[in-house]
Structure 1
Amino acid sequence: MKANSPWVFLPLGGFVLLAIVLASGLGRDPQELPSALVGKPVPSFSLPSLLTEETFTEESLTGRWQLLNVWATWCPTCHVEHPYLLTLAAQGVPITGLNYKDELPAARDYLANMGNPFTHVIVDSDGQLGLDLGVYGAPETFLINPQGEIVLRHAGDLNERVWREKFQPLLPAAKPVTAQGEGV
């Protein structure tokens, strides 16, 4: 290859392109996962309840503001977030649980022993609803409006800071909830 050949600059051009791609990811919050479903209805589903004989559909997630929390007993971060979910539930925040790819006896025992923050618990044994929601893993929490549309998606544990900064500003006339269960 000649020194003045345009091919000499190919490695340099590749390096510059790679540097631009990598730099574009700097400063992004890794917890922020884009969701194509924000502003759209919860996908259609028909799944059983973990604790009753009921069957739930997307219509079950209409009529009020609520959270849809994706959790599992095999998920260590779900154990970390559980006390805060209990706090929110005690303050009247409706939370529907989506038990994701879990062993049903273990999930029932977990809620019996640790407390149940959920108004309903939907079983997603094969993970299809999770897949339709774009779930990467547990925990993830979705804010659902009364029309059954996804308003917000949060990947990771739901805690006081996340609730205050991300969820609460989107809720009409919401009171802040602290970890101690007190309204601020």
Structure 2
Amino acid sequence: MNKQLLIFPLIAFGMVAVFAFRGLSINGQAMPSVLIGLDAPAVELDKIPRYPGPFDPSEFEGEVTLVNVWGSWCVYCLYEHPVLLRMAEEGVQIYGLAWNDTPEAAAKWLDQHGSPFTAVGLDQTGRAVAEFGVTGAPETFILDKAGKVRYRHVGPITDREWQRRLKPLVRDLEAEAPAEPAS
């Protein structure tokens, strides 16, 4: 009887250990998106005072662009922000989608930290982020010259992530020939 009581905790511990080690091998940055290969969704955004925008998907055509979902309430967005500013200085076109904010809070945050965005819009209802399939902020989508979603990055973009993964992808997309217009 005593041996049977000892086996149950060992089996339970073994199962927990298997799931824990499996969880450690999951790459949280590489989340697939149903939008990959599709046009960026047309979304309605509100204006943020003193900043250019909002924007629509027609602005994405012709250049490789990034759509960055952020919020003034988001701690990781603050961590990512200096990287976005450097990316913008390098000539990367970044469109901002402020999520679950007020126009005043978003403008104040941009006033305080600077804006890396070519244009920025505000999604107070959550409909726009739902169209993009966003699971949390920050989240960034890389669009090709035709305005099609080619990559989804979940979480803050770090310098390392930018240099090793995203910048080479942006360069490759910039080197691609522009898509032929549909006839």
If the TM-score is normalised by the length of the shorter chain, which range does it land in?
Answer: 0.7 to 0.9
Give 1:50's aligned residue: 48
CA drift at 1:53:
7.8
For the Cα contact (< 8 Å) 2:39–2:149, is it kept in 1?
yes
Q: Which has the higher helix share?
A: 2
Give 1:11's aligned residue: none
Partner amino acid, structure 1, of 2:47: S
Any gaps of 5 or more consecutive residues in structure 1?
1-14, 175-184
Partner amino acid, structure 2, of 1:62: E
For the Cα contact (< 8 Å) 1:49–1:56, is it kept in 2?
no
Count of residues paired in the alignment: 157
Whole-angstrom CA distance in 1 between matches of 2:138 and 2:52: 25
Any gaps of 5 or more consecutive residues in structure 2?
1-11, 174-183
TM-score under structure 2 length normalisation: 0.76
CA drift at 1:173:
6.4
Q: After superposition, give the CA deviation of every residue in 1:96-152 in whole Å (9 maximum; x if it has no partner).
A: 000011121011011111111111001111111111111001000111111110111
CA drift at 1:74:
0.5
What secondary structure is seen at the aligned counterpart in 1 of 2:167?
Answer: helix
Partner amino acid, structure 2, of 1:29: N
Q: What percentage of residue pairs aligned between the two structures are identical?
A: 36
Q: Which runs of 4+ in 1 moved over 4 A?
A: 21-26, 52-55
CA drift at 1:162:
1.0
CA change 1:53–1:77 in 2 (3 A) is: closer
Whole-angstrom CA distance in 1 between matches of 2:54 and 2:159: 32
Give 1:178's aligned residue: none
For the Cα contact (< 8 Å) 1:99–1:124, is it kept in 2?
yes
| CA root-mean-square deviation | 2.3
